């Protein structure tokens, strides 16, 4: 299991989520275990792409220890329990999300699968010493879609701050254009046919230990200091 986890991490860090977002066979946070045993497929918690204090001072190691070590881990563990012996057991994570979306009898499976995916995507959407200059192709696409980078980050900020209750703000590719969208709870824009490029978690567990109720301060600091534009550019790829 450990070996698989390490393999997954290497795959994720090398290839990012480009392939995942394109819906290829590279499945996010899924160990495609084919070895003998009761589970044909076991979903694994992917390793963080930086040390737990790597996002300080924007996000503390304390927040990461709970957010990654408890919340994210629980989504993965719960998912494995929920899908055991069901039609979802052998599916890659994205397939589960798509198959369980909007099904009233698979709400818990959808929630845990989407939260497992969303969190792995969120960790990659951030990086130590992020923000700053954008890769040229992404900048061009942003300017074509929003007019200016500032208009894009303003929209992203408004979506993140304005999401009522728990949820996510996303930069996505929708057809030919980039868009900012927000989703509640475990929602993921892929279920609406959009391709996620980056995300910001606005559940209170993402910021409350560091910012208490000041979500706007968390969002501002994330976008200015630790957002991973390179990751978004990689996901955009040659789309």
Residue 166 or 191: which CB sits closer to Fe ion? Answer: 166
Number of H helices, E strands in the chain: 11, 5
Closest approach of Cβ 38 to Fe ion, in Å? 29
Residue 19 or 183: which CB sits closer to Fe ion? Answer: 183
CB-based burial label for 80 (10 Å; 0-12, 13-18, 19+): middle
Does 167 interact with Fe ion (rule: CB under 5 A)? no
Closest approach of Cβ 168 to Fe ion, in Å? 8
Residue 41 or 111: which CB sits closer to Fe ion? Answer: 111
Site string for Fe ion, 77-116 (x = CB under 5 A): ----------------------------------------
Residue 155 or 201: which CB sits closer to Fe ion? Answer: 201
Closest approach of Cβ 126 to Fe ion, in Å? 12
Closest approach of Cβ 214 to Fe ion, in Å? 17
Closest approach of Cβ 71 to Fe ion, in Å? 5
DSSP labels for 140-166?
A: HHHHHHHSSHHHHHHHHHHHHHHS-SS
Size of the site for Fe ion (CB under 5 A): 3
Closest approach of Cβ 9 to Fe ion, in Å? 19
Residue closest to Fe ion when measured from CB atoms: 201
DSSP labels for 164-209?
A: -SSEEEEEEEETTEEEEEEEETT--GGGGT-EEEEEEE-SGGGTHH
DSSP state of 30: E
Stretch that binds Fe ion, among 13-21, 39-47, 177-185, 198-206 (CB under 5 A): 198-206
C-beta of residue 149 within 8 angstroms of C-beta of residue 134: yes
Selected binder of Fe ion within 121, 123, 203, 207 (CB under 5 A): 203
Does 229 interact with Fe ion (rule: CB under 5 A)? no
The neighbouring-strand residues paired with 30 are 43
Does 201 interact with Fe ion (rule: CB under 5 A)? yes
Closest CA to 3 of 40, 32, 23, 36: 32
Closest approach of Cβ 201 to Fe ion, in Å? 4
Does 168 interact with Fe ion (rule: CB under 5 A)? no
Give the contacts of 115 (CB within 8 A, at least 6 positions apart). 72, 75, 186
C-beta of residue 116 within 8 angstroms of C-beta of residue 93: yes
Q: What are phi and psi of 42, to 5 degrees?
A: -125, 130
Number of neighbouring beta carbons within 10 Å of residue 154: 14
Does 124 interact with Fe ion (rule: CB under 5 A)? no
Binding site for Fe ion (CB under 5 A): 201, 203, 206
């Amino acid at each position: 299991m450990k070996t698989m986890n390490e393999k997954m991490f290497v795959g994720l860090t090398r290839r990012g989520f480009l392939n995942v977002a394109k819906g290829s066979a590279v499945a996010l946070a899924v160990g495609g275990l084919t070895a003998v045993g009761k589970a044909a497929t076991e979903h694994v918690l992917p390793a963080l792409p930086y040390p737990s204090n790597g996002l300080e001072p924007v996000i503390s190691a304390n927040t990461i220890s709970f957010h990654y070590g408890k919340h994210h881990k629980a989504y993965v563990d719960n998912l494995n329990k929920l899908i055991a012996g069901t039609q979802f057991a052998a599916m890659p994570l994205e397939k589960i999300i798509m198959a369980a979306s909007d099904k009233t009898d698979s709400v818990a499976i959808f929630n845990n699968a989407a939260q497992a995916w969303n969190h792995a995507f969120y960790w990659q959407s951030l990086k130590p010493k992020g923000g700053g200059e954008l890769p040229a192709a992404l900048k061009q696409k942003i300017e074509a879609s929003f007019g200016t980078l500032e208009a894009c980050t303003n929209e992203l900020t408004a979506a993140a701050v304005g999401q009522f209750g728990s949820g996510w703000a996303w930069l996505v590719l929708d057809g030919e254009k980039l868009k900012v969208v927000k989703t509640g709870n475990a929602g993921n824009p892929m279920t609406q046919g959009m391709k996620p490029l980056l995300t910001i978690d606005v559940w209170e567990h993402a910021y409350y230990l560091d910012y208490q109720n000041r979500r706007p301060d968390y969002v501002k600091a994330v976008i200015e200091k630790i957002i991973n534009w390179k990751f978004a550019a990689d996901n955009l790829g040659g789309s």
